[in-house]
């Protein structure tokens, strides 16, 4: 045996006894795979295109982690191109993680990479499968994984970027098909926006008409475009499509509401306030989207909650006195903020359990991270505890979570 062969044998014996040392990336992957990324991946504010820029609609109904394989997530949802809606099932397979830039000591930010394949049902017209790679950003706070929106609102922000191709079962034709949150990966000259996704004029006819008209808040077409963008298209024949028409009668501003094209009711605001904005979200966390109207001239929000019993929207006066209410869905809470002066901003947290109950207040110095006062209330709305100048660690878990999710107080 040569000297070189002897050294090789000794190395093999040594490795057999001690095992290979894990690379740093392998150790990180092992640590991070124990978390459940279903809520990170299940984000449905998606923009997409297929082929030459034709709008592609994508929606995930469910995403769940495989109980036996931490890399694998099972997916079900729907896709739509023009008027062709297809159901799909498939999987997302995580394969790597990398640290992302840290902006705050209370959280660790990461990027995950994955492969995906989404199989449309073969019996549906024009069906095929999507396959490609996914990049997603998340952070960990108090041993819990959160979808990363820290830079949301900044120019170029994006997340959950799906980049791949769609292939027809019948013809085997393959087309580029990309989608994502806020931006679309590899969208070339389709996207000419700087601050946000904005379709180039010569491709707006490829299914982007309502998306672009929804930017034009001063035009008559805006309200129709916004309603179209809010359409629950993935529900097919079961979709609830809410549209409206604004009008002024005897000096009073009104909105006529239509459900799936049929007249439902008229909302009367009692004064001429044509400058408004409509928001359709679930304001009482019961699974039904409600109808909120923002009257910009008086900074008032009128919220009408959907009543299954009455079959219409019912006015909820609770919101009238709130300024800038934010839905804190993680905790079934509404948080409002009131600007007092440059030295004082007051945040009020209301938890919903059949009615809105004031649970806590947080006062900050202007729009800064300096907390001045934390107040806790009992079930009757009476203050029971005050903490002056609370640190982040002294905030309640709900305020800490809100601070992390909505960039308040850190």
Give the model confidence (pLDDT) of 59-97 as tens digits.
Answer: 999 999 999 999 999 999 999 999 999 999 999 999 999
Banded model confidence at residue 4, pLDDT cuts 50, 70, 90: very low
Cα separations (Å) of 336 from 46, 275, 345, 352, 368?
27, 22, 10, 14, 16
- Asked whether 139 and 110 are in contact (CB, 8 A), the reply is yes
Task: Identify the helix (H) or strand (E) that includes residue 398.
Answer: helix 397-406
- Over 50: is that where the pLDDT of 215 sits? yes
Q: Where are the domains of the chain?
A: 30-207, 219-320, 322-410
Closest alpha carbon to 245 in 231, 271, 265, 216: 265
Banded model confidence at residue 298, pLDDT cuts 50, 70, 90: low
Closest alpha carbon to 43 in 156, 137, 177: 137
Q: CA-based angle 325:232:207, to the nearest 5?
A: 110
pLDDT tens sequence across 89-121: 999 999 999 998 877 777 899 999 999 999 999
Within a 10 A sphere around the Cβ of 183, how many other Cβ atoms?
17
The predicted model gives 354-378 an average pLDDT of 91
Share of the chain above pLDDT 90, in %: 59
Sort 336 into a burial class: Cβ within 10 Å, 0-12 / 13-18 / 19+.
middle
CA distance 149 to 116: 22
Between 28 and 305, whose confidence is greater?
305
Closest alpha carbon to 320 in 296, 297, 303, 340: 303
Mean model confidence pLDDT for the chain: 88
């Amino acid at each position: 045996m040569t000297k070189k062969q002897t050294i090789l044998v000794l190395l093999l014996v040594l490795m057999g006894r001690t095992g290979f040392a894990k690379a740093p990336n392998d150790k990180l992957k092992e640590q991070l795979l124990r978390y459940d990324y279903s809520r990170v991946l299940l984000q449905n504010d998606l923009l997409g295109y297929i082929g030459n820029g034709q709008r592609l609609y994508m929606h995930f109904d469910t995403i769940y982690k495989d109980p036996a394989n931490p890399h694998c997530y099972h997916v079900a949802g729907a896709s739509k191109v023009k008027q062709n809606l297809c159901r799909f099932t498939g999987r997302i397979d995580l394969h790597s993680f990398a640290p992302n830039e840290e902006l705050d000591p209370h959280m660790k930010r990461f990027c995950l990479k994955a492969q995906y394949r989404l199989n449309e049902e073969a019996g549906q017209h024009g069906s095929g499968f999507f396959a490609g790679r996914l990049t997603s950003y998340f952070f960990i706070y108090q041993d819990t994984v959160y979808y990363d929106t820290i830079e949301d609102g900044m120019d170029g922000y994006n997340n959950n970027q799906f980049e791949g191709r769609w292939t027809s079962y019948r013809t085997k034709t393959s087309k580029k098909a990309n989608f994502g949150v806020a931006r679309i990966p590899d969208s070339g000259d389709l996207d000419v926006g700087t601050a946000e996704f904005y379709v180039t004029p010569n491709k707006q006819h490829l299914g982007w008409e309502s998306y672009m008209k929804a930017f034009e808040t001063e035009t008559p077409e805006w309200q129709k475009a916004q309603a179209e963008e809010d359409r629950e298209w993935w529900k097919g024949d079961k979709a609830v499509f809410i549209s409206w028409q604004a009008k002024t009668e005897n000096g009073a501003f009104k909105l006529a509401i239509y459900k799936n094209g049929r007249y439902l009711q008229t909302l009367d605001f009692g004064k001429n306030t044509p400058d408004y904005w409509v928001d359709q979200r679930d304001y009482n966390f019961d699974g039904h989207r409600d109808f909120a109207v923002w009257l910009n001239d008086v900074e008032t929000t009128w919220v009408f909650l959907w009543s299954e019993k009455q079959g219409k929207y019912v006015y909820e006066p609770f919101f009238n006195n709130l300024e800038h209410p934010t839905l804190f869905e993680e905790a079934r809470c509404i948080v409002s903020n009131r600007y007092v002066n440059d030295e004082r901003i007051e945040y009020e947290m209301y938890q919903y359990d059949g009615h809105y109950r004031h649970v806590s207040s947080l006062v900050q110095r202007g729009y800064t991270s300096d907390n001045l006062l934390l107040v806790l209330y009992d079930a009757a709305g009476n203050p029971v505890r005050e903490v002056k100048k609370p640190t982040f660690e002294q905030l309640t878990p709900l305020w800490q979570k809100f601070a992390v999710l909505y960039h308040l107080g850190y």
